[in-house]
Structure 1
Amino acid sequence: MATKTVHVAVGVIKQDDKVFLTKRLADSHQGGKWEFPGGKVEQDETVHQALARELKEEVAIEILTCMPLMQINHDYGDKKVRLEVFIVEHFSGEAKALEGQQSAWVKLAALSQLTFPTANQAIITKLAELYC
């Protein structure tokens, strides 16, 4: 049976030289690793709608503007993902984890010291090229 691809909207929430990260819960896919907040795009919504909904639900912010950064297709073996990644620098609210997970504002230069799901490595590389 073919593995279904999970379509995910991802927000790189950025302020100055830091980005907001959340840590995946231990019992989830890729559990215990840091990630950029976001979530699945539902059937009846656009990527922008999904990103706005997920960031509101997960980290309590409202996107004012966002800018496309990149698309990533990755096969974990047990799951395939297609990430559509956006830079979110203009938002209202105070970013905080709402789903019981750990969260932190991390300096862009320190991202390479944290453990992320493999699909996120390209995001970290791209951010280093743009901002470091």
Structure 2
Amino acid sequence: MVHKLVVGVHLVLIEDGRVLLGQRANAAYADGYWHVPAGHLEEGESVLRGMAREAEEELGIEIREEDLDLVHTLHHLDADDGDGRLQLFFAPRSYAGKIANREPDKCAALRFWPLDGLPEPIVGYTADALAQITAGRPLSVVGWPS
């Protein structure tokens, strides 16, 4: 049997030791929790294109695909639905435009938080990934049996 994965793309935008997080709103998953700007791949797009699209849709900023660096990969077993998820975290080397909350129906607030003072509640795997990124670890595995 072939294992299928859901692929998520996540933007890790760090400025002056602070990371950009949005507070999820009207969401089936983790409503009210803080999370990095993120989304899922659409059919026929690469992970780089998907990340650039999500940044433009959610934040109104333009990131060239060649300016995205993969900073962490998290292989996550979702306890809620049992699906495997590959969560890819990208940091932009540069971007154009001013950050704005372009999806206020899905994001109640958008704010930079110190990496050593993340808000509560925060999506668990997001906190895990940010800790791994800070420690310089490129890969983590969460939720899978040992």
TM-score range, shorter chain: 0.7 to 0.9
Aligned residue in 1 for 2:43? 43
Amino-acid identity (%): 23
Distance in 1 (alpha carbons) for counterparts of 2:120 and 2:100? 19
Alignment TM-score, normalising by the size of structure 1: 0.84
Is the contact between residue 71 and residue 133 of structure 2 (CA under 8 Å) also seen in structure 1? Answer: no
Indicate the SS of the match to 2:44.
coil
Give 2:68's aligned amino acid: C
Which residue does 1:67 correspond to in 2? 69
1:81-126 CA distance string (max 9 Å, x none):
2211111241111112211111101122212x43222221321212
Using the alignment, how far apart are the partners of 2:125 and 2:116 within structure 1?
A: 19
Runs of at least 4 residues off by over 6 Å = none
The residue number in structure 2 matching 1:78 is 80
Per the alignment, in what secondary structure is the counterpart of residue 116 of structure 1? coil
Paired amino acid for 2:90? F
Counterpart code for 1:68 = L
Q: 1:107 aligns with which of 114, 118, 134?
A: 114
1:13–1:87 Cα contact (<8 Å) kept: yes
Aligned residues: 127
Alignment gaps of 5+ in structure 2: 137-146
SS at match of 1:56: helix
Secondary structure of the 2:19 match is: strand
Q: Which has the higher helix share?
A: 1
Question: Contact between 2:75 and 2:87, CA under 8 Å: does it hold in 1?
Answer: yes
Identify which of 96, 118, 123 aligns with 2:129: 123
Aligned counterpart, 1:20: 20
Across the aligned residues of Structure 1 and Structure 2, the Cα RMSD in angstroms comes to: 2.0
Aligned-residue offset at 1:55: 0.6
